[in-house]
Structure 1
Amino acid sequence: MRRVSLLRSSAGFTYIGALVMVVVLGIMAARAVTVWKTAAQREKETELLFRGMQYMDGLRRWYWPKGIPTQTGQTPLPGQPRTYPAALPVGVPGPKELKELLKGTGASPKPCLRKLFLDPMTLKEFEPIKGADGRILGVHSTSEEAPIKQSFKDPSSFNLDPSDFEGKSSYKDWVFICTHWPRPLGDESQTGAGQGTRTTPP
Structure 2
Amino acid sequence: MLNGRLFYSRGFSYIGVLVTLVIAAIGMQGAAVMWQQQSQRSNETLLLEAGEAYRLAIGRYYEATPQPVKQYPSRLEDLIEDKRFPVSKRHLRKLYADPFFVKQGMALIIRDGRIVGVHSQSLLAPIRSSGYQESQSGFHGAKHYREWQFVYEPNTLADLELAWVNR
TM-score by length of 2: 0.81
Residues 1:125 and 2:105 aligned together = yes
Does the 8 Å CA contact 1:63/1:94 hold for their aligned counterparts? yes
Equivalent pairs, count:
153
Residue range with higher mean Cα deviation, 106-115 or 36-45: 106-115
Q: Percentage identity across aligned positions?
A: 35
Q: Deviation per CA, 1:72-130, whole angstroms, max 9, x where unpaired?
A: xxxxxxxxxxxxxxxxxx72222111111112364684211111111111011111112
1:113 match: secondary structure: coil
Does the 8 Å CA contact 2:62/2:73 hold for their aligned counterparts? no
Does the 8 Å CA contact 2:119/2:149 hold for their aligned counterparts? yes
Aligned-pair distance for 1:169? 1.5
2:71 match: secondary structure: coil
Residues 1:19 and 2:57 aligned together = no
1:176 match: secondary structure: strand
Q: Deviation per CA, 1:50-85, whole angstroms, max 9, x where unpaired?
A: 11111000011011129xxxxxxxxxxxxxxxxxxx
Does the 8 Å CA contact 1:138/1:175 hold for their aligned counterparts? yes
The counterpart of 1:173, out of the listed 107, 123, 147, is 147
Is the alpha carbon distance of 1:142 and 1:92 closer, same or farther for their aligned partners in structure 2, counting shifts above 3 Å?
Answer: same
Greater helix fraction, Structure 1 or Structure 2: 2
Which residue of structure 1 aligns with residue 75 of structure 2? 97
Which residue of structure 2 aligns with residue 160 of structure 1? 135
Does the 8 Å CA contact 1:62/1:105 hold for their aligned counterparts? no
Separation (CA, whole Å) in 1 of partners of 2:91 and 2:30: 44
Residues 1:110 and 2:89 aligned together = yes
Separation (CA, whole Å) in 2 of partners of 1:59 and 1:105: 15
Greater strand fraction, Structure 1 or Structure 2: 2
Separation (CA, whole Å) in 1 of partners of 2:31 and 2:108: 37
**AA matched with 1:125:** G
**AA matched with 1:121:** F
Aligned-pair distance for 1:150? 1.8
TM-score by length of 1: 0.68
